[in-house]
Amino acid sequence: MHEMSLTEGILQMLEDQAKAQAFSRVLTIWLEIGELSTVDPDALTFCFEALRSGTLADGARVEIIRLPGQAFCMDCARTVRLAQRYDSCPDCGGDSLQVTGGDEMRVKELEVE
């Protein structure tokens, strides 16, 4: 489960930002997770709740924002929504797709004190 190491990275980033921006506690963290990423939002939330104890995020709420998968179809020259990586173009059925969004995971926002 790579969500555990992702969570450890998020908690380290929070510690680094707390030092740089002088906050002492995280109340809420908003995470953007793309539908085409390999991140399981439920597993990430579980890991965050398991690892946050004793950190500045102890008791923090995790809000997940799902981002749709998008790709540019080189066959029909359209940007289309993709439900899964390696799907065919939903408009023309072509297989020449370049993913343009929805494969990322990032911290969007923090509520801190």
Residue whose C-alpha is closest to residue 33's, from 108, 110, 113, 111 = 108
Is this structure's pTM higher than 0.85? Answer: yes
| Domain locations in the chain as residue ranges | 3-69+102-112
- For tokens 């510690």, the residue is 15
Please, what is the average pLDDT of the chain? Answer: 96
pLDDT in tens, 9-44: 999 999 999 999 999 999 999 999 999 999 999 999
Between 41-51 and 3-21, two packed helices, what is the crossing angle to 10 degrees?
Answer: 60
The answer to whether 83 touches 93, Cβ cutoff 8 Å, is no
**What architecture is domain 3-69+102-112?**
2-Layer Sandwich (3.30)
pLDDT given for residue 64 in this prediction: 97
Q: 31 pairs with which residues across the strands?
A: 64, 107
- Residue 1: pLDDT above 70? no
**E strand segments, the chain:** 26-34, 61-67, 69-73, 78-82, 97-101, 105-112
Rg (CA), the chain: 17
Q: What is the mean pLDDT of residues 78-87?
A: 95
pLDDT in tens, 40-73: 999 999 999 999 999 999 999 999 999 999 999 9
